[in-house]
Amino acid sequence: MKSPSVSTIILALALAGCASKNSAAPTPTPASSTQASAPPAQGAPVLAGSANTRGHFLSSVSKTTLATEGRDPAQFPAYAAQLKAQARQQGIDDTTLNTAFAGVHFVDHAISADRNQPENKLTLSDYLERVLTTAKIEQARDSLRQYQAQLAPVSQRSGVEPQYIVALWALESHFGTIQGREEVISALSTLAFEGRREAFFTRELMAALQIIQQQHIAPAELQGSWAGAMGQNQFMPSSFLRYGADGDGDGRIDIWHNTADVFASTANYLSKEGWKAGERWGQAAILPADFVPEMAGTKANQAKTVGEWQKLGVRLTSEADRPDPQQKAWIIIPEDSPASAFMVYDNFRTLLRWNRSWYFAISVGMMADAMSQ
């Protein structure tokens, strides 16, 4: 993988989830699947287009690429025509197809971006320093107050605390200001044509066409990241169809312009994925010298109660808000160093369904905590 510039990394972090919570996840498992355990995610965040799950990109297993299949960009128009035919067979009407594909074009930088995503190059402390700036935290606090009237009923219905809704909004699109300007139909068609994850991107394209047919947004306005993640919460199209919510009762779901819908959709995602009202995401922990690294992780069989972890010598760095000794918990070590350990709870694993990166989930939790202080 080529090494991106700092500005590129920062932009990618700002868009984290372009394939996140709803993004293309790293395995063929959709972000919405209710697995017994959230996928174990380590290291740097799933960057723009690498998903999620929210919904979040799955790492490619297949080695098939545009080059190895011999697909030439000159063949793209014929491929787009095949996609239209496939969509028509799935019930997309001609009016939708004709308007959606009117300006469809090959997006070469989407392929280069998908192939050259930055690997784990940031430490957790570097990552948090860049995404949890003082200015962003202050803006998050201001937003929490400003949008209290919209957030309160959403939180009451879903059980998701307002600070987590705002934290995801801040980290996914910088409070709605960075949503991506790529034409989603063109980007998804191009990535399907490339062939590496053809089935996944074809499904997302069909979902995007359903969004247009349902008149949630006009084709010309359907823009997002190069990976197809859309709106202020960077939902992939399938996540929009699965979790999108009409927050103001106007009959439409507009996650591009309407904060009521953005907040309702974010809360709906977390609620449906198992959010537990009133529980924390996690806390920094101190591990004993004899801690066995293999015990760390977020798989279902790696869980113990808080009390059991304490008997093994695990201590929390803060005595405040100590969890119930019977609460289920996991230990994670993001940098493979005991000095950066955390004890995390069910809500952390729910955040991993949004974006499978430990770094991202930790940043959401820490921002939410900062807003509560």
Q: Which residues in the chain belong to E strands, given as ranges?
A: 182-183, 223-224, 282-286, 304-305, 315-316, 328-332, 342-344
pLDDT at 39 over 60: no
Q: Phi/psi of residue 173, each to 5°? A: -140, 20
Distance CA 107, CA 69 (A): 18
pLDDT recorded at residue 37: 33
Examine the pLDDT at 38 and tell me if it is beyond 50: no
Mean pLDDT, residues 52-67: 41
Residues 297-323, mean pLDDT to the nearest whole number: 92
What is the per-residue pLDDT for 109?
A: 86
Element (H, E) at 100: helix 94-100
Which DSSP string do the residues of 187-216 spell out, in sequence order? HHHHHHHH-TTHHHHHHHHHHHHHHHHTTS
C-alpha–C-alpha distance, residues 205 and 67, integer Å:
22
Closest CA to 168 of 195, 140, 145: 140
Burial 18-34 (b: 16+ CB within 10 A, else e): bbbbbbbbbeeebbbee
pLDDT at residue 321 greater than cutoff 90: no
DSSP 103: T
Q: Which residue has the tokens 């700092």?
A: 6
Give me the pLDDT at residue 288, please.
96
Q: How confident is the model at residue 62 (pLDDT cuts 50, 70, 90)?
A: very low
C-alpha–C-alpha distance, residues 162 and 266, integer Å: 10
Please write the tens of the pLDDT for every residue from 85-123: 999 999 999 999 999 999 999 998 888 888 776 555 688
Give me the mean pLDDT over the 302-313 stretch.
97
Task: Please state, in angstroms and rounded to a whole number, the distance separating the CA atoms of residues 327 and 306.
Answer: 6
- Residue 282's beta-bridge partner residues? 344
How much of the chain exceeds pLDDT 70, in percent? 80
126-136 pLDDT, tens per residue? 999 999 999 99
Cα distances from 346 to residues 19, 46, 253, 363, in angstroms, run 22, 20, 29, 16
Task: Name the band, by pLDDT with cuts 50, 70 and 90, for residue 338.
Answer: confident
Burial of 102 (0-12, 13-18, 19+ CB in 10 A): exposed
Mean pLDDT value across residues 165-185:
97
Q: What are the residues facing 5 on neighbouring strands? A: none
Average pLDDT of the chain to the nearest whole number: 84
**69 pLDDT tier (thresholds 50, 70, 90):** low
pLDDT of residue 113: 81
Decide if 285 contacts 329 (C-beta within 8 A).
Answer: no
Report which of 180, 189, 233 is spatially closest to residue 207, judged by C-alpha positions.
189
How high is the pLDDT of residue 238? 97
pLDDT computed for residue 198 by the predictor: 94
Other beta carbons less than 10 A from residue 313's beta carbon: 12
Q: Are 265 and 236 spatial neighbours (Cβ–Cβ below 8 Å)?
A: no
> Angle 259-272/346-354 helices, nearest 10 degrees?
120
Q: What's the full length of the chain, in residues? A: 373
Residue 14, pLDDT above cutoff 80:
no
Radius of gyration of the chain (CA): 20
Range 148-167 average pLDDT: 98
Judged against a pLDDT cut of 60, whether residue 277 lies above it is answered with: yes
Q: What is the DSSP string of 23-51?
A: S--SSSS-TT---SSPPP--SS---TTT-
pLDDT tens for each residue of 264-273: 999 999 999 9
Mean pLDDT of 232-252: 96
CB contact at 8 A, 205 and 224? no
Find residue 316's DSSP bridge partners. 285
Residues 328-365 as b/e (b if ≥16 CB within 10 A, e otherwise) read bbbbbbbbeebebbbbbbbbbbbbbbbbbbbbbbbbbb
